[in-house]
Amino acid sequence: MSLDQQLVLFLFCIIGGVVCEGIFSHVYRKHIKKKPKVRFSFLRYFFLLLLPIIGTLITFLLAGIPAIKTFFIFTLLGPIFEWCVGFSYESIVGEKLWTYQKYSITGNTSLLAIPFWGFAGILFYYLARIL
């Protein structure tokens, strides 16, 4: 499988996960008589991550150790970078740039964002190899 095809497959998994979760949420809200307040649930979070996780596993199988290293480096450095940007902005401007409600780390990043940084790392890995 060529590098371009691997990238398309990975992007398909990422976009597919978001679309599937959106459809699931829409159908869930449509079939309930009263409009429920949108709340966090680990089931919805896992459902959102399911296809990207599958895409990441396929990437690991196809690309090997460099992709695994990239994924874990981004899962470590991404939240640190996000926290630093949020903290710096808050220190300079006096208000938060963004906030996290669940599993927040001082409101500037969240433990729930860590897998998404890894997925971004895989995306950058592919883009760097193609360019």
Contact 107/86 with Cβ under 8 angstroms?
Answer: yes
The pLDDT > 70 percentage for the chain reads: 95
Q: Rg for the chain (alpha carbons), in Å?
A: 17
Contact 69/119 with Cβ under 8 angstroms?
Answer: no
Lowest mean pLDDT among 18-22, 65-69, 82-86, 114-118: 18-22
Beta bridge partners of 110: 104
The size of the chain, in residues, is 131
pLDDT tens track for 42-69:
887 887 888 888 888 888 888 888 888 9
- For the record, the structure tokens of 88 come out as 């710096």
Stated pTM of the model: 0.79
The span from the CA of 23 to the CA of 29, in Å, is: 10
The per-residue pLDDT for 36 is: 63
Say whether pLDDT at 37 is over 90.
no
For residue 20, name the pLDDT band (cuts at 50, 70, 90): confident
The span from the CA of 54 to the CA of 13, in Å, is: 7
Say whether pLDDT at 35 is over 70.
no
The span from the CA of 101 to the CA of 94, in Å, is: 19
State the sign of the Cα–Cα–Cα–Cα dihedral 58, 61, 63, 65: positive
With the CA atoms of 21, 23, 25 and 27 taken in that order, what torsion angle do they form, in degrees rounded to the nearest 10? Answer: -150
